[in-house]
Structure 1
Amino acid sequence: MSASVTGIAVGAVLAFAILVFGFWGFLLVAVFMAIGLLIGRILDGKLDPRGLANALSGKRTS
């Protein structure tokens, strides 16, 4: 999928979530989508979990 199609799909899911569940449901859906993105990138090998942990703990900046 291209970035445009992915962006449209994400926007549609978030719009549906805010219409059906309200703001807090929308926020929860957005958080779970971000978690799913991180897990997917780790499984694809595009994100190093150890490097991410080091960056978040302040041991490395990038």
Structure 2
Amino acid sequence: MKNFTLIGTALGLAFAFAVILGGLSGFLWALFFSVLGGVLGAQLDGRIDLRALKDNFSSVRVGRGGRG
């Protein structure tokens, strides 16, 4: 079984370095693409479920005394 999390993180980091090299902005882009690649790889590995995460954030929750 392939480790898509590691592969996704490495590819995201490599892509970030290909897009922007140097400086604080380059570091921030590298960090962004690494996190993005890691999250997508973890989704493919089955370690996280982005659909369930999206459903949890998008569900309407009404507290006491609220509408509903």
Q: TM-score per shorter chain, which class?
A: 0.5 to 0.7
Q: Return structure 1 stretches of 4+ with deviation > 6 angstroms.
A: none
**Whose relative contact order is higher, 1 or 2, with alpha carbons under 8 Å and at least 6 apart?**
2
Q: CA RMSD in A?
A: 2.3
Unpaired segments ≥5 residues, structure 2: 1-12, 61-68
Structure 2 residue identity aligned to 1:49: L
CA offsets per residue over residues 24-62 of structure 1, 9 Å max, x none? 0100000000000101100000111111212343x28xx
Unpaired segments ≥5 residues, structure 1: 1-12
Q: Does 1:47 align with 2:48?
A: yes
What is the match of residue 24 of structure 1? 25
User: Rg bigger for which structure?
Assistant: 2
**TM-score, scaled relative to structure 1:** 0.55
Identity score, percent: 33
